[in-house]
Amino acid sequence: MEFHRAIEAYTVHLTVERGYSPQTVRAYRSDLHALSTFAEGRQIVDTEGLTLDLLRDWLWHAAQNGVSKATLARRSASARGFSSWATREAGGQVDPAARLRSPKPDKTLPRVVNRAQMSGLLDALAAKAAEGGPEEARDLAVIELLYASGIRVSELTGLDVDDVDLERLTVRVLGKGSKERVVPFGVPAKDAVVSYLRTARPRLATARSGAALFLGARGGRWGSRAVYQLVAGLLADIPGGGPAGPHALRHTAATHLLDGGADLRAVQELLGHASMGTTQIYTHVSTERLRESYRIAHPRA
């Protein structure tokens, strides 16, 4: 099957049959188009020309061009899934990517904002919301809810008004793989959301708003890119390594929960992780923070 036609058919398979999120499907499509371009440079234009050597060569060239290990691991997964699907579609017996190995990604700890910094950030947002317009009230509600619940930015922007239960202090989100879960949040987040719903959302709403909880300046559902820009701007002046987007608030929420004595499995359920192994990185973060505190505070450290 010709590469581009196969890629489109495969992404439909990922969306309809596997239930992959739009973000994951876009990433896989991008990876596979990069593979097809590489293959066409070697006069291979269809999936029948896929070989293990070709796939290894593709990953090797990407590594030489400075592609990160995490991206190489994803590209390897994209290629294995695509090759397996194409082999089944063609009625073949041998999958050329079956022995393709993923490079192990570098072990880096996620970015975490400490409690004092987080309190200062929220206090500053609250002051702006008290004096500003509907956008400032929305921004405070967004950051309070992200930090309080640890939900993903895509889960936040997908919320409708009815997904928030202000009596039970819970929010119903649709996570990866279209899995629904109910996540608790605290009173400060409730207060910020109530204020936004009462005074700000009605001023932002238009005929196109529908049931969306968080709205942009033109009344449409607020998107992930806008939330990323908001969080990145807020974290720009706070020291720390790693990406400064909304996921940093998810990392922060999880780490602060564990620092406060929360059970690891409870944190796993809150975050919607399918594997305990994904959640365990936060125990490493907490250990590093403990070690740093020990170095600073103990006279014989």
- DSSP string computed for 227-249: HHHHHHHHHTTS--SS--SHHHH
The whole-angstrom separation of Cα 298 and Cα 98 is 52
Q: Does residue 269 sit within a domain?
A: yes
Cα separation, 63 vs 43, whole angstroms: 22
Residues 12 and 55 in one domain: yes
109 lies in some domain: no
For residues 144 and 243, state if they share a domain: yes
Domains of the chain: total: 2
Annotated catalytic residue 33: no
pLDDT in tens, the chain (301 residues): 888 899 999 999 998 888 888 888 899 999 999 999 999 998 898 888 889 989 999 998 888 888 888 888 889 999 999 999 999 988 877 888 888 887 766 555 567 888 899 999 999 999 999 999 999 999 999 999 999 998 989 999 999 999 999 999 999 998 877 788 898 999 999 999 999 999 999 999 999 999 999 999 999 999 999 999 999 999 888 876 666 788 889 888 888 887 787 777 877 877 877 666 666 666 665 555 545 554 655 565 4
Q: Is-catalytic flag, 273?
A: yes
Which of 44, 73, 89 corresponds to the end of one domain? 89
Decide if 176 is catalytic: yes
Assess whether 251 carries a catalytic annotation.
no
pLDDT in tens, 181-203: 898 999 999 999 999 999 999 99
Q: Which of 152, 201, 251, 256 is catalytic?
A: 152
Residue where a domain terminates, one of 89, 124, 158:
89
Active site residue 250: yes
Q: Do residue 188 and residue 233 come from a single domain?
A: yes
The one-character DSSP state at 197 is I
Whether 95 maps to a domain, the answer reads no
Same domain, 65 and 190: no
Same domain, 120 and 198: yes
Task: Identify the domain containing residue 250 by its residue range.
Answer: 115-297
Q: Which listed residue (74, 250, 251, 256) is catalytic?
A: 250
> Which residue is associated with the tokens 């058919």?
9
Given the residues 172, 176, 181, 289, select the one marked as catalytic.
176
Residue 185 forms part of a structural domain: yes
The yes-or-no answer on residue 28 being catalytic is no
